[in-house]
Structure 1
Amino acid sequence: MSSLPLVSILIPAYNHEAFVERCLDSVLEDPYPAKEVVIIDDGSTDKTSERIQAWIDRHGHEVAIEFTHRANKGIAATLNELAARARGEFFRLGASDDYLLPGGLEAQVRYLASHPRKGAVIGDSVVVDRDGRRLHGSGMADLHHADKRLYATDQGIRRAVITRWAVGGPVALLRRSALETVARWTEGLRIDDWDLFLRLAASDALGFIDVPVCAYRLHGSNLSKTRHRATRIVNLEESREVAIRRMPLFDEPCRTLLRAQVHYIGAKIAFLQGRPGTVACRMACFALLRAFAALRPAAPHPHPEQA
């Protein structure tokens, strides 16, 4: 065990009293031995903290665990604090309403050990309902309708991360050093993961294994699945700003693809706002930019250590 790299499982918890103990149980169920849990209750207003403490009282002798309960600061600030508190060489992202699947940690650690240029690796998920019943065998293919073949190459990963964000649930293992390179999570964002993975993909630091590493739970309160129109508009406007901000990181044709995505997101916003003329204009720009990107050759892209 002493020769295995330590994995810190980072769990931001917020108002998940019904699910958090299942999340923590899954850490024990995964057989990878060199692990610790770092969990922060980000100002929950339900009994999440009480459930976590009760679990620690029962199982705290079985795994190293650090738990903090404090006022709400938001998901990105909580993730940054979790990373600062962690001791591991690798950070496994968790979520207090989802749970890990046995074998996922070992598979992801093995991938990063054999791909030293990669700073992070994502896997797939299974999708379950609030009671743990399986809804989909692949979160990427069945829920997000992604073509997983794109993830076989660096160029494909860049295109996939830009054009169809298909990462559902806590499926990422990151090197501590990779977070230092991309400046961790951008605080103030409500949907922070696309921003992080755009930065990783831009430097070819993101890999993929076609292995289900977690169960992603759909329970009606998922932030990214809200049906509330005003909230959806705010989330989309934030995504558009992220795309504009990260555009300079990419070479062509991915920069043009990201510019096209800005128009596509803008079309979604206009649709929700009931502006059909703007929808048509945005979609025309989107189609033209996608066609232009398809005609442009890919620029040579250095590996992360050559950048």
Structure 2
Amino acid sequence: MKALVSIIIPAYNAEEWIADTVQSALGQTWPHKEIIIVDDGSRDRTAEIARRFASKRVLVVSKENQGAAAARNHGLRLSQGDYIQWLDADDLLAPDKIELQLAALREIDSRRILLSSSWAYFNYRLQRAHFIPTSLWQDLSPVEWLLRKMGDNLHMQTATWLTSRELAEAAGPWDTRLLSDDDGEYFCRVLLASERTRFAPGAKVFYRITQSSRLSHIGASDRKKDAMLVGMKLHIQYLRSLEDSERVRKACLTYMQNWYDNFYPERPDIVAEMQSLASQLQGRLDEPRLRWKYAWMKPVFGWKAAKWAQRTLPQIKTSWIRRCDRAIYRLEADRAAENTGVRVS
């Protein structure tokens, strides 16, 4: 009997994307699958659209809004699969993603191997996605994976992972306290329970850039900053539980430095706490550096204004790129509809 794969899709106000995401799940060449869509109290037509796919293989449930982590936990409780595929409601899987990952296990008789894959950002047109390998795109031990993630400021997108139920149960539920990087913290725990990662180079995930789905964006939210500090402490705790060495302490300090500008100087309480933690790691954190395009603004307008410009102006540029890509995407869709005689709404 082939393994059953549960594809769990948490969805909140995703009416524009949910149909494409579900279709990418249904289109998986691995035949033994179930799809569980958890509508997290959406205020748009997400649940209505999702229910159009309801069948023996597709379960759609709605619950009150409690966040993505709680929705994933709910979906996991409902699932029956031997393997779990997490999939956000605006992302896409290549048709053979799951099949290629499970094929990578044929020579290995272990449910403690954590499977990963390649991934790329895109806006609307898949052909614009560029897959750029990092040092995480290979087979690694848990400690080596975490060292590279934290020391090199890297990450793997949520849907890249394929997790056995044994690993999911060993890791425990998603942490609902975390309002950003909840997937990073969760897969740290999965890694700790695993023997190692196994990278399937041909398997692909498409990570859509949207305004609403950027859970990693912290911005000015004090709640997200508090939660981010909790997540960072857990990352450091997990890595040091595997190995407490000079290279680990260095990676932890680099990790903290990379995220330091999210708190400096607006949250002096968190700044002080991070400096205390850095001291325990036999180091200290430096004042965040501004990129050269914005550094000149600091002596003229002050640190906060320069930091705002460094954060905001690239977002404006990205927004315009998304709008242009959307316009071209709609134009191409309309032309394709004219050729087939079917108008796409």
* Corresponding position of 2:53: 55
Aligned pair 1:101/2:89, yes or no? no
Aligned pair 1:198/2:191, yes or no? no
* Corresponding position of 1:111: 104
Rate the CA distance shift 1:6–1:181 in 2: closer, same or farther, 3 A. Answer: same
Rate the CA distance shift 1:148–1:119 in 2: closer, same or farther, 3 A. Answer: closer
CA contact (8 A) 1:105 1:213 kept: no
CA contact (8 A) 2:11 2:39 kept: yes
**Which of the numbers 111, 114, 119 marks the counterpart of 1:120?**
114
Q: 1:92 Cα deviation (Å)?
A: 0.8
Rate the CA distance shift 1:112–1:234 in 2: closer, same or farther, 3 A. Answer: farther
SS where residue 2 of structure 2 aligns?
Answer: coil
Give the whole-Å Cα distance in 1 for the aligned partners of 2:227 and 2:202: 29
* Corresponding position of 2:173: 184
Query: Deviation string for 1:173-219 (max 9, x for gaps)?
Result: 11001111122322322232111222233343433222342211002
Query: Deviation string for 1:261-307 (max 9, x for gaps)?
Result: 563256233436387xx69979x9699769xxxxxxxxxxxxxxxxx
**Which of the numbers 37, 40, 43 marks the counterpart of 1:39?**
37
**Which of the numbers 129, 147, 154 marks the counterpart of 1:159?**
147
Query: Deviation string for 1:103-153 (max 9, x for gaps)?
Result: 111011122443316342111113210x23444422x64xxxx3346x333
Counterpart residue identity of residue 226, structure 1: H
Counterpart residue identity of residue 201, structure 1: L
Query: Deviation string for 1:160-181 (max 9, x for gaps)?
Result: 2333342124111110011111
* Corresponding position of 1:23: 21
Give the whole-Å Cα distance in 2 for the aligned partners of 1:77 and 1:227: 19
Give the whole-Å Cα distance in 1 for the aligned partners of 2:128 and 2:227: 25
Q: 1:259 Cα deviation (Å)?
A: 3.7
CA contact (8 A) 2:117 2:204 kept: yes
Rate the CA distance shift 1:156–1:244 in 2: closer, same or farther, 3 A. Answer: closer
Q: 1:75 Cα deviation (Å)?
A: 1.7
When the two structures are aligned, how many residues end up with a matched partner? 274
Rate the CA distance shift 1:7–1:257 in 2: closer, same or farther, 3 A. Answer: farther
Question: What is the CA RMSD across the aligned residues, in angstroms?
Answer: 3.2
**Which of the numbers 231, 239, 261 marks the counterpart of 2:231?**
239
* Corresponding position of 2:293: none
SS where residue 121 of structure 2 aligns?
Answer: strand
* Corresponding position of 1:295: none
* Corresponding position of 1:260: 253
Rate the CA distance shift 1:105–1:133 in 2: closer, same or farther, 3 A. Answer: closer
- Structure 1 unmatched runs, 5+: 291-307
Instruction: Give TM-score scaled by structure 1 length.
Output: 0.76
Give the whole-Å Cα distance in 1 for the aligned partners of 2:265 and 2:221: 9
CA contact (8 A) 1:15 1:46 kept: yes
Counterpart residue identity of residue 162, structure 1: M
Counterpart residue identity of residue 38, structure 1: I
Counterpart residue identity of residue 152, structure 1: D
Give the whole-Å Cα distance in 2 for the aligned partners of 1:289 and 1:208: 34
Q: Select the structure of larger CA radius of gyration.
A: 2
**Which of the numbers 70, 76, 83 marks the counterpart of 1:77?**
70
Structure 1 window deviating more from structure 2 (87-96 vs 152-161): it is: 152-161
Structure 1 window deviating more from structure 2 (106-115 vs 223-232): it is: 223-232
* Corresponding position of 1:214: 205
CA contact (8 A) 1:13 1:95 kept: yes
* Same amino acid, percent of matched pairs: 19
Give the whole-Å Cα distance in 2 for the aligned partners of 1:178 and 1:201: 8
Counterpart residue identity of residue 188, structure 1: R
- Structure 2 unmatched runs, 5+: 285-345
